[in-house]
Structure 1
Amino acid sequence: MSEQSEDTSKLLALFAPGAFVLLWSTGFVFAKMALPYAETMTLLTVRFLIAVGLLLVISIIWRARWPKSIPQTLHIAVAGILLHATYLGGVFAAIERGLEAGVAALIVGIQPILVAFVAGILLKEHVSIRQWLGLILGVSGVILVVWSKLQDGLGTSLGVGIAVVALLGISIGTIYQKRFCGEMDLRTGAVIQYTAAAIPTGILAYFTETMVINWTGEMIFAMAWLVIVLSVGAISLLYLLIRKGAASKVSSLFFLVPPTAAIMAWYLYDETFHSIALLGMVMTVMGVAFVNLRPLKRFGLRTRPS
């Protein structure tokens, strides 16, 4: 490897994980930006289908490998439904029903804690005191924030419940993908996953929504960001990180997602965290950090983009 190539790899390993986390954090605020102009399932279905088209072109140009068997393809599709239709559908639906973007980010942000505990149980590994402390802090912090926001009339119990479903979706999906999709090429895999995710969201949109999109300038900008920057750009960045062996650094920075999303939501939508809610945010961030600052190498897990 040349000296210039080594320098490029070092820069990628240094800055790309933080950039990835920053991009993922924007998903919550851009969801809130787009939702006034389209209903949740309609918005996601269109987003998924546009992403499929772009990623299909990328896969063809880069000659990415496709799954070799139907069972492997089906496993990738199931993971896609969990990670995209369930997770993103839950986050978008929760925000559409009044849950603040920062709170939605906080609820699903404890995903690394759940994944670490479930993976530990499945692998019959000892759960350390540090991990137990992280779990207690993280869950208690989320409860404080949610209770404070509901007391202030910001959000609904239904919205919170839907966000919890999103949390379960990404947690189960992460473990499922690790178990059954370890050899998946992220480019062709994303084509399959977004295609699979578009089926349930499309069905729900057809039967429960008007399927009308108001293509304003803000809506076009939000959709372009959600598709190009997140669904395509973040996937490509994660692919590069995995190739360079820096994927674990993304996991180690995952605890920064909720506060980053909260700061963005405060700046764009004047969402604030007062006293008790702010304390809950700090507790949750600390809880996720306790569990996640030590890379989850023994689980072989990596985070997923929004």
Structure 2
Amino acid sequence: MPLRTASTVTFFYALGYPIGNMAVHAMSPMAVLAFRFGLAGAILGVWALVSKAGWPTGRKLAHVAVAGLLMQAVQFCALYYAIQHGAPAVLCAVVIAMNPVATGVLAAAFLRDRLTPGRVVALVLGVAAVLAACASRLVAEGGVDAAVLLLLIALVGIAAGGVYQQRFCADVDFRASTAVQNAVAFVPALVLALTTPFVVHDATKAVFAVAGVVLLNATLGVSLYVRAINLHGASAVAMLFCLIPAVAGVLSWLMLGEHVDIGVAAGLVLGALACWLNARSGRKRSGENGQDDPARHRGRQHRVDAVHDAAVAR
């Protein structure tokens, strides 16, 4: 992957954490998500129509909807509530960056994908990374608090949704798929927004933060991320998770003034090792199966990959 592509994808993916944090602190989290899902779904829907992408129908449409509820609604509702409960942006990035590792475990359990020794070690490192990053909160709260639990739910949501996406929706155009998924996720977000207190703490900051979430992350971030997977393969993009939490930490420091404690720093290192080992194991397995060239597989996907084209967290 060219350096410019890698750096651009990493930057916009990581940018989602401080911008999302900023948006939630400027406006009620479910209101932010209602705007995010509604506007992003409309933009992506128009893009799909203009590009004449094929739309899912019947049972395929139902599968896309289920994947959207898991990857979009479950992940982001839990993530934004965690931010409201005080989870720093970099902590969110460390936990969600374990998606490739968690996906490998779920794929082994439900898709009979082989769990290699390398991925077992990656899983252990991933668990250690999450525990290290959450250590200060676990000590302060005397156990797992609401923010940590919500982040784990968000991780399960994106990983389970990614496996479901690969199993049932891999042949759906990503523009149509993500448009439908955002539209489906808009419904529970709107219900939660209407049944919980609506508060705008800073109107100006809310406008800019929500615009950033919709345009830079939910729309532009999706496009860059998926294009990188299509051109360079899922294993190459999985390697970016080694860097994304660290970049999110730097951006959070510059934009929000958040500082990284020793536990989160250890989580960054362990998480980077886990993602690197997971991607390396996946690349070796793909090479053994003669699937190391993404250009030969454009238009279809492997049975399961560590990263999914529609499983875009940001």
TM range (shorter): 0.7 to 0.9
In 2, Cα distance between equivalents of 1:172 and 1:183:
18
How far has the Cα of 1:299 moved from its partner?
A: 4.6
In 1, Cα distance between equivalents of 2:218 and 2:263:
34
> Paired residues, what number?
292
The letter for the 1-side match of 2:261 is: H
Structure 1 gaps of 5+ residues are 1-11
1:66 aligns with 2:70: no
Q: Are 1:17 and 1:247, in contact at CA under 8 Å, matched by a contact in 2?
A: no
Q: Are 1:85 and 1:200, in contact at CA under 8 Å, matched by a contact in 2?
A: yes
The residue that corresponds to 2:261 in the other structure is 274
The residue that corresponds to 1:229 in the other structure is 216
Q: Are 1:21 and 1:250, in contact at CA under 8 Å, matched by a contact in 2?
A: no
Percent of pairs identical after alignment? 26
Pair 214,51 (structure 1): closer, same or farther in 2 beyond 3 Å? farther
- Measured against aligned partners, the alpha-carbon deviations of 1:107-146 in whole angstroms (never above 9, x if no partner) come to 1211111111221333445433322222112211211221
How far has the Cα of 1:66 moved from its partner?
A: 1.0
1:249 aligns with 2:253: no
Q: Are 2:132 and 2:263, in contact at CA under 8 Å, matched by a contact in 1?
A: yes
TM-score by length of 1: 0.87
Pair 279,214 (structure 1): closer, same or farther in 2 beyond 3 Å? closer
The residue that corresponds to 1:181 in the other structure is 169
- Measured against aligned partners, the alpha-carbon deviations of 1:6-52 in whole angstroms (never above 9, x if no partner) come to xxxxxx75532442232111111001111122111111011111112
The letter for the 2-side match of 1:61 is: V
Q: Summarize the alignment of residues 9-20 of structure 1 with structure 2, pairs less than 5 Å apart.
A: 14-20=3-9
2:44 to 44, 50, 55: 55
RMSD (Å) for aligned C-alpha atoms? 2.3
The residue that corresponds to 1:7 in the other structure is none
1:195 aligns with 2:199: no
The residue that corresponds to 2:108 in the other structure is 120
Q: Are 2:116 and 2:281, in contact at CA under 8 Å, matched by a contact in 1?
A: no
1:160 aligns with 2:164: no
Pair 77,124 (structure 1): closer, same or farther in 2 beyond 3 Å? closer
Partner secondary structure for residue 253 of structure 1: helix
In 2, Cα distance between equivalents of 1:245 and 1:136:
27
- Measured against aligned partners, the alpha-carbon deviations of 1:138-183 in whole angstroms (never above 9, x if no partner) come to 2112112212244467x98111111111011001000000001011
- Measured against aligned partners, the alpha-carbon deviations of 1:238-278 in whole angstroms (never above 9, x if no partner) come to 34334435444212222222222122112222322333442
In 1, Cα distance between equivalents of 2:70 and 2:150:
14
